Copies of this chain bind each other. A is one copy, B any other.
């Protein structure tokens, strides 16, 4: 398991490297995401951070997650209409979404080849491509 981002000291450096002032709350929120390498909703992140005792407010959780996304430290995954998932993995990759359980799994994009995509409309630049494979338990 990769522990690049798990210690608070390393996380502090990572935040600074992304132009983010490393406050206590921001470090704890980053830790929740980077220590587990999972896709979490804002709600889940807040529950994790405040597990022992209250460390941060709802407003700060949302402010921080939006800041992390703007600074490209994490990314959003839009797959469930009721909530956004936050992904600490910013490498290009795709997702497997279990519609039954709501579990979201990474799919390496290394081996995937996509060809035949049309040219973009004039004056448009691609910002990224999301590939989501929706699966469900058989019967």
Contacts and interface: CB of A to CB of B under 8 A. Distances in A.
Nearest to A82: B81
A118 interface: yes
Given A76-B81, A78-B80, A126 B116 contact: no
Contacts of A117: 107, 112, 133
A135 B113 contact: no
A124 B112 contact: no
Nearest to A128: B134
A54 interface: no
Nearest to A129: B133
Contacts of A115: 112-113
Interface string A96-139: 10110000010110011111111011011111111111111110
A129 B137 CA distance: 16
A89 B111 CA distance: 30
